[in-house]
């Protein structure tokens, strides 16, 4: 049997990267039966349509993963981050998600997320050196009408 080469390709074409993502996703569906993946994207735009903040993530199998939450420096401290997070959580809840999780660094926003009910469930020390990398989660309670 021939040995296939392994190549380092940090700038691999998007289409090639998608083959790998789809392979993993197909396996996940096969093992769990959950094929309900969907993206989340909430944008904060000015009157011209320029993006000044937003939240990106995805939902799958009852969980919402928040990948990115960012607000332009000029708008911080005005509640936009809280509003973006609340809107994403409400949307996730409406789609049947039972929990949300995210990653943040000690120099980013762990206190912000704790203020919004997230708890640390894992800590990676010295990533990057001298800092901590936190994994945080929050249970999304069902709203009672």
Each domain of the chain, given as residue ranges in start order, spans 36-139
Residue range 99-125, pLDDT digits in tens: 999 999 999 999 999 999 999 999 999
pLDDT the model gives residue 142 = 66
Mean pLDDT, consecutive 10-residue stretches, the chain (145 aa), reads: 91 95 91 94 98 97 97 97 98 97 97 98 97 98 64
Is the preceding omega at residue 99 within 30 degrees of 0, hence cis? Answer: no
Closest among 105, 69, 103 to 86, alpha carbons compared: 69
**Cα dihedral 81, 87, 88, 91 in deg (nearest 10):** 180
Domain 36-139 sits in CATH at: 3.40.630.30
pLDDT the model gives residue 2 = 85
Report the 3 state secondary structure along the chain.
CCCCCCCCCCCCCHHHHHHHHHHHHHHHHHHHCCCCCEEEEEEEECCCCCEEEEEEEEEECCEEEEEEEEECHHHCCCCHHHHHHHHHHHHHHHCCCCEEEEEEECCCCHHHHHHCCCEEEEEEECCCCCCEEEEEEEECCCCCC
Per the document, the length of the chain is 145
pLDDT the model gives residue 82 = 98
Are the C-beta atoms of residues 87 and 56 closer than 8 Å to each other? no
Q: What residues have CB less than 8 Å from 138, skipping those under 6 apart?
A: 89, 99, 100, 101, 113, 116, 117, 118, 119
pLDDT the model gives residue 141 = 79
């Amino acid at each position: 049997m021939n040995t296939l080469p392994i190549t380092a390709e940090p700038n691999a074409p998007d289409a090639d990267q998608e083959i790998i993502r789809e392979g993993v996703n197909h396996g996940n569906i096969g093992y769990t039966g959950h094929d309900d993946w969907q993206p989340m994207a909430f944008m904060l735009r000015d009157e011209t349509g320029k993006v000044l903040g937003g939240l990106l993530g995805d939902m799958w199998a009852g969980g919402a993963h928040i990948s990115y939450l960012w607000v332009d420096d000029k708008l911080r401290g005005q509640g936009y981050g809280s509003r973006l997070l609340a809107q994403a959580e409400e949307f996730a809840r409406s789609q049947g998600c039972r929990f949300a999780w995210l990653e943040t660094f000690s120099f980013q926003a762990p206190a912000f997320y704790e203020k919004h009910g997230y708890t640390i469930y894992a800590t990676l020390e010295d990533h990057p050196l001298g800092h901590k990398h936190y994994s945080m989660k929050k249970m999304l309670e069902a709203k009672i009408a």
